[in-house]
Amino acid sequence: MRWVIGALGIGLLGWGAVLLLPVALDNPFSLGGWLVGGPVLHDAVLAPAVGVGGVLIARVLPKPWRAPVGAGLVVSGILVVLAVPYLWRAYSGPVTPGLHDRPYLAGLLIALAVVWAVVVVSGLVAGRRRGNTPAAS
Amino acid sequence: MKPPVRPPQETDFTSPTHGPRVSARIGLWLGIAFGLCFATGLLSHGIQHPAAWFTWPSRPVNLYRITQGVHVTSGVAAIPLLLAKLWSVYPKLFGRPVVRSVPHALERGSIFVLIAASFFELLTGVFNVAQNYPWAFFFPTAHYAVAYVATGALLVHIAVKLPVIREALTRTTEEPKPATGALSRRGFLLTTGGAAGAAVLATVGGTVPWLRDVSVLGSRSATGVPVNRRAEAAGVSTADSTWRLRVGDAEFTLDELRAMPQTTAELPIACVEGWSASATWTGVRVADLLDRAGVPAGSAVRVDSLEKDGLYRSTTLPGTHTADPLTLLALRMDGATLTLDHGYPCRLIAPSRPGVLQTKWVSRLEVL
């Protein structure tokens, strides 16, 4: 079973490389940058930032607030990533009627406000629940 | 006294959000998202560049709307899943020695290829949905090729890790580890699911009508039928009275088309970029036009536009679609004469067909 999956994978990989070769020859730097950029930015910038953020949260925040704030930061980060192609449009085509014409910055801010409202409520609920347990008194 | 500064080691990462139990679960979700993305992507490619053996049905009318909606939505959901998956295995980046053996080197290399191809597909995908192209290559060719690379590398990864995955997913008891960062293992899994849900909710209204107002990061407005390419951009101006529709060897004036039996149907425009919009179209059945022109029923035709150039000025309409009574040359949209931006004097609207192939400003149907 493993060998079948592996062989199929190597076949698809090879076919992808064949299809990609002309693109790589035409635009080596643009393609290479987009291929290598993801792992490099993730390993060198994003993941360390997440790690430091987690440590800081655990050191600074009281226990009931750690999970809500951590989760809120994760969800916020994802929403910001999804908003980037709409907010930074240096390389985009013209905006046409009905497409890409939403108020994206306002929309992002509203979504973030909803996320952080949930964070605050979750933190307060977790704090109260903790306050009610005998162990905490 | 300050501890000596040194690079991190694998053992420094004590959080329960790392390790096979988390990794295998998120990997399973991510594998499903990638599988859906790859399958629906191949379908969309097949419809636009059909091999001789490939046929795509014209019913249900929403079929392409659904497959392409799934393509873009599963890709969006895969972004938080990929980041969570990488976080769960991040300590392994610092495993030493860097390379233990030739198989180990190959495995690490294949994982680099997998991660590079995965980020490439997801990031270029969301930029393309926004019609934002900060690159020099042609998106469809690159996105299609790298899809095979990503899927192939994923299968290699699954083959290598199958015993670890199986153990991690079937083991039921393990001592609970306290959270050393912000989140416990369970909290991390819930957060990942929540982030994927939020990402979908923020974008899926581009194709799901009742979420249109909720999806603040959707690609289309909350109302109206979007225009992907304006007449001005296509270099098309309003056709005058000399305009004729040529069908095979026959010719029709606009008045003749208006005098023919009209069919009204609600059909979606479903864009390759994942948005869709339904409208009520009124016009002449392509099957009727072919019949009037003496063309055998169910013939494939090439649809030409008044557009002088552009990738989609000429498209192929397969026999399955020309025979479908809902395939129309529309003269009206939502009760009004087509505007120039929507394709005046007439446009193709066929069920279950990518939006880029719903040719506007039609001038000719040539029998193939």
Q: What is the ipTM score, two decimals?
A: 0.94
Q: Could you give the CA distance from residue B349 to residue B357 in angstroms, rounded to a whole number?
A: 9
- Tokens (6 digits) for B269: 């425009």
Output the CA torsion sign for B248, B250, B255, B260: negative
Q: Which of residues 211-270 of B touch A (CB under 8 A)?
A: 216-230, 233
Of A47, A75, A108, the CB nearest to B90: A47
Residues of chain B with CATH 3.90.420.10: 231-367
Tell me how far apart the alpha carbons of residues B181 and B89 are, in angstroms, rounded to a whole number. 16
Q: d(Cα B64, Cα B66) in Å, to the nearest integer?
A: 5
**pTM score, two decimals?**
0.95
Q: Do A97 and B138 touch (CB under 8 A)?
A: no
Residues of A in contact with B147 (CB under 8 A): 16
Question: How many residue pairs from chains A and B have C-beta atoms closer than 8 A?
Answer: 252
What is the CB neighbour count within 10 angstroms for residue A15? 15
Task: Give the pLDDT confidence score for residue A93 in this predicted structure.
Answer: 82
Q: Residue window 75-134, chain A: list those with CB within 8 Å of chain B.
A: 75, 78-79, 81-83, 85-86, 88-94, 96-102, 104, 106-108, 110-111, 115
Determine the average pLDDT of the residues in A55-79: 96
CA atoms of B286 and B318, how far apart (whole Å) = 12
Query: In this predicted structure, what is the pLDDT of residue B3?
Result: 65
Interface test mutation site (partner B, options A29, A35, A56, A91, max chain B beta carbons within 10 A): A35
Fold of B231-367: Sulfite Oxidase; Chain A, domain 2 (3.90.420)
Q: How many angstroms away from the CA of B231 is the closest CA of chain A?
A: 11
The CATH 1.20.950 domain(s) of chain B lie at 10-211
- Decide if pLDDT at A136 tops 50: no
The verdict on a CB contact (< 8 Å) between B15 and A23 is no
Closest in B180, B203, B229 to A82, CB measured:
B203
Residues of B in contact with A68 (CB under 8 A): none
Q: Measured between alpha carbons, how far is B208 from B204 in angstroms, rounded to an integer?
A: 6
Identify the pLDDT of residue B24. 95
Note down pLDDT in tens along chain B; length 368 residues: 566 688 889 988 989 999 999 999 999 999 999 999 999 999 999 999 999 999 999 999 999 999 999 999 999 999 999 999 999 999 999 998 999 999 999 999 999 999 999 999 999 999 999 999 999 999 999 999 999 999 999 999 999 999 999 999 998 776 677 778 889 999 999 999 999 999 999 999 999 999 999 999 999 988 889 999 999 999 999 988 899 999 999 999 999 999 999 999 999 999 999 999 999 999 999 999 999 999 999 999 999 999 988 888 999 999 999 999 999 999 999 999 999 999 999 999 999 999 999 999 999 999 99
Q: What is the pLDDT of residue B175?
A: 67
CB–CB of B195 and A97 under 8 A?
no
Of the candidate CATH numbers 3.40.50, 2.30.30, 1.20.950, 1.10.287, the domain formed by B10-211 belongs to: 1.20.950
| Whether the Cβ atoms of residue B303 and residue B348 lie closer than 8 Å to each other | yes
Q: Say which of A43, A79, A99 has its CB closest to residue B220.
A: A99
pLDDT for residue B222: 82
Q: What is the CA radius of gyration of chain B?
A: 26
Q: Which of B134, B159, B341 sits opposite A97 (nearest CB)?
A: B341
pLDDT at A132 over 70: no
CB contact under 8 A, A19 and B86: no
Q: Phi/psi class of residue B329: alpha, beta or left (left: φ > 0; alpha: ψ in -120 to 50)?
A: beta
Facing residue for A36 by CB, picked from B90, B116, B277: B116
- Using a CB-CB distance cutoff of 8 angstroms, which residues of chain B are in contact with residue A90? 134
